[in-house]
């Protein structure tokens, strides 16, 4: 009887989401950053414009853009050790949402390689598609969709 109670047969057999985060910027005008999020398992991509790299801004992008708008509730998130990721705000958000936050080793972009490759691809596409380099934020959604 105890075996039947401990085993949940109705639990969906779905792989957990494992997004990794990275920031790129600012633009030539010095105003905006790009926050890139990609799920390591499904390769689902999100890239969002942020006015700065403050911890509140990054936490807001994670919660409002990635989780609420896209419906992606991760078990684990991965990022580098930038101050925009390793801070009290992101730690509090992780504890409230029961997230595990894993950090890559310092100066080792290979650990977050998929995100770094995507950042390079998006940057190259933005350079080819923008007429005015400081206005890349206007076409970022089209580049991500492509």
Classify domain 16-145 by CATH architecture: 2-Layer Sandwich (3.30)
In this predicted structure, which of 29-33, 85-89, 128-132 has the lowest mean pLDDT? 29-33
Residue 22 has which token pair? Answer: 């990275």
pLDDT bucket at 135, cuts 50 / 70 / 90? confident
The model's pTM is 0.78
Q: At a CB cut-off of 8 Å and minimum separation 6, what does 108 contact?
A: none
pLDDT bucket at 59, cuts 50 / 70 / 90? very high
- pLDDT tens column, 69-110: 888 888 889 998 989 999 999 999 999 999 899 999 878 888
In this predicted structure, which of 10-19, 33-42, 113-122 has the lowest mean pLDDT? 10-19
> Secondary structure of the chain in the HEC alphabet?
CHHHHHCCCCCCCCCCCCEEEEEECCCCCCCCEEEEEEECCCCCEEEEEECCCCHHHHHHHHHHHHHHHCCCCCCEEEECCCCCCCCHHHHHHHHHHCCEEEECCCCCHHHHHHHHHHHHHHHHHHHHHCCCHHHHHHHHHHHHHC
77 vs 14: which has the higher pLDDT: 77
pLDDT score, position 134: 77
The structural domains of the chain, with segments of one domain joined by +, span 16-145
User: Mean of the pLDDT values across residues 58-71?
Assistant: 89
pLDDT score, position 124: 93
pLDDT score, position 21: 75
């Amino acid at each position: 009887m105890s075996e039947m109670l401990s085993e949940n047969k109705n639990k969906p057999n779905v792989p957990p989401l494992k997004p990794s985060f990275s920031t790129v910027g600012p633009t030539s005008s010095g105003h905006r950053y790009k926050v890139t999020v990609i799920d390591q398992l499904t390769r689902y991509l999100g890239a969002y414009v942020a006015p700065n790299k403050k911890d509140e801004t990054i936490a807001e992008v994670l919660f409002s853009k990635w989780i609420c708008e896209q419906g992606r509730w991760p078990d684990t998130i991965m990022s580098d050790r930038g101050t925009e990721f390793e801070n009290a705000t992101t730690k509090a958000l992780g504890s409230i949402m029961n997230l595990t936050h894993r950090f890559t080793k310092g100066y080792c972009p290979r650990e977050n390689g998929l995100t770094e490759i995507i950042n390079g691809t998006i940057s190259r596409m933005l350079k080819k598609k923008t007429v005015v380099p400081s206005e890349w934020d206007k076409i970022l959604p089209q580049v991500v969709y492509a």
